[in-house]
Structure 1
Amino acid sequence: MSGAWKAKRFWKEASVVPEAEGFGVRLDGREVKTPAKRALIMPTEAMAQVVAEEWDAQEEEIKPHLMPATKTANAAIDKVAIQHGEVADMLADYGDSDLLCYRAPQPDALIARQATLWDPMLDWAAEALEARLIPRVGVMHAPQDPTALEALRRRTHALSPFELAAFHDLVSLSGSLILGFATALNRASADEIWTLSRLDEIWQAEQWGADDQAEELAALKKESFLHASRMFTLCRAVDPLD
């Protein structure tokens, strides 16, 4: 055997076409399917255009790792749409152990930085999401107000499969349901919110110096976080440019 079989480009042009339920991508007129053989139909023309551009950018050999928007769309159709309730519940559970609510007992400078940067996000959530989460000192779990958690759960379940697929990465990568919503609802830029999610790591690096391996991993996670933010915007029913 000379090596594993690799998919080759067989088309000349990728195009976006309107479908009954949204927008699809065609390769020289052929319908693109997900890995589970479902039609690759996206909710907005803007998202479908990004996916088509990924297919057009492929050269002789198809490289799926260079097609993140296609991967997100596949996940939304093949996984999230099938298990929407389970995925929504899993993400909503972050509210009861949200990153923003676990505060350092010391030193004073870190305590102050967490309060200065994280408290405004909790205040925003109390107003915009009708969910007041209370910070705690230390890492021991302390339950949040069930009313606040239920408000967050309802909002999470209300997301469409495509929104939820992107939202999954916003929450899991940041460790915060509140920061996930803040990104999705444009409370601040995705870059700014990612920095907020790494407050503790940044503090440690300032005290002891940066770890090259940890920084490389953080850079990869940031890239995925920014991609998820873009996908959430692109899949909204409203035009992201409005």
Structure 2
Amino acid sequence: MSAERQPPRPPEAIRRFYEAASVAPQEDGTARIHLDGRPVRTPAKAHLSAPPPVAARIAAEWNAQGEHILPITMPMTRLVNTAIDGVAAAVDPVREDIAQMATNDLVMYRADFPAGLVAEQRALWDPVVTIAERLLGVRIVLVEGIMPADQDPRLAPAVRARLPEAPLPLAAFHQLTTLTGSALTALAFAEAAIDFDTLWRTAHVDEDWNIKAWGVDAEAADRRAQRRRDAEAAAFVLRPEETPG
């Protein structure tokens, strides 16, 4: 979404019904989100709560709403809702999903032409592969083209062992993996081996190459900007000190 444009209001958008959002610390060290002093609940009716830094971002999203509430502009709220209502009840399947995605990872599949794209993939993807091999103790097989490669059977278990178990960071890790197409890049970020900008450029090598060749499509740029905001929310959960944007 371009900075000067606001997203269209969907027909089902809810008119803003509150004056202000605030953070209410809890005895367990988390914080709940309140609207005019009343607790917010997730779509499944659980209390919307998170670690205080994350809760502060959620409150800021609610306070930034205009006449109508637009969930697309609230990436942290949506991520925490997903963690509470979905991932909390499916921790093992989510961990397994990430581990399996790592065996068919973006950075494993390389172009053989043109030379410029080959060089850019190597420049950004080779360091991620090196980091992953060091962290996981497993050699990663690289191939040219799109035919699946047989990876070391220890790869998925090694990735799984590195994943968070708490629902919120696990949801964030899964979201980064999905948005980048690369569990290994998400792992490198989570382990503080790369920064967010590197993660984002790593995920978009092919797309950036096509933009150089064919120019920018406005709708595609808007979708990419939205994905980046979602990725930034996930990145903040995993590494609050690495605050993108």
TM-score bucket of the superposed structures, by smaller chain: 0.7 to 0.9
Residues 23 and 31, structure 2, Cα contact 8 Å, conserved in 1: no
Task: Give SS of 1:111's match.
Answer: helix
1:66 to 57, 60, 73: 73
Q: CA-atom RMSD, angstroms?
A: 2.5
d(CA) in 2 for partners of 1:107, 1:60:
49
1:37 to 45, 48, 62: 45
- Quote the residue 1:101 is aligned against: 108
2:189 matches 1:183: yes
Offset, 1:7: 4.5
d(CA) in 2 for partners of 1:5, 1:146:
47
Task: Give SS of 1:81's match.
Answer: helix
Offset, 1:100: 0.5
- Quote the residue 2:203 is aligned against: 197
Task: Give SS of 1:112's match.
Answer: helix
2:139 matches 1:132: yes
d(CA) in 2 for partners of 1:205, 1:29:
47
- Quote the residue 1:160 is aligned against: 166
Task: Give SS of 1:146's match.
Answer: coil
Residues 133 and 145, structure 1, Cα contact 8 Å, conserved in 2: yes
d(CA) in 1 for partners of 2:63, 2:217:
38
2:25 to 11, 14, 17: 17
Unaligned 5+ residue runs, structure 1? none
d(CA) in 1 for partners of 2:98, 2:237:
17
d(CA) in 2 for partners of 1:205, 1:53:
33
2:236 to 215, 230, 235: 230
Task: Give SS of 1:16's match.
Answer: strand
- Quote the residue 2:121 is aligned against: 114
Offset, 1:24: 1.5
- The sequence identity of aligned pairs, in percent, is 34
- Quote the residue 2:6 is aligned against: none
Residues 21 and 33, structure 2, Cα contact 8 Å, conserved in 1: no
Task: Give SS of 1:92's match.
Answer: helix
Offset, 1:22: 2.2
Tell me: CA distance 1:68–1:117, structure 2 relative to 1, closer, same or farther (3 Å). closer
| TM-score normalized by the length of structure 2 | 0.83
Residues 19 and 41, structure 1, Cα contact 8 Å, conserved in 2: no
2:88 matches 1:81: yes
Tell me: CA distance 1:195–1:105, structure 2 relative to 1, closer, same or farther (3 Å). same
2:226 to 197, 207, 220: 220
- Quote the residue 1:144 is aligned against: 151
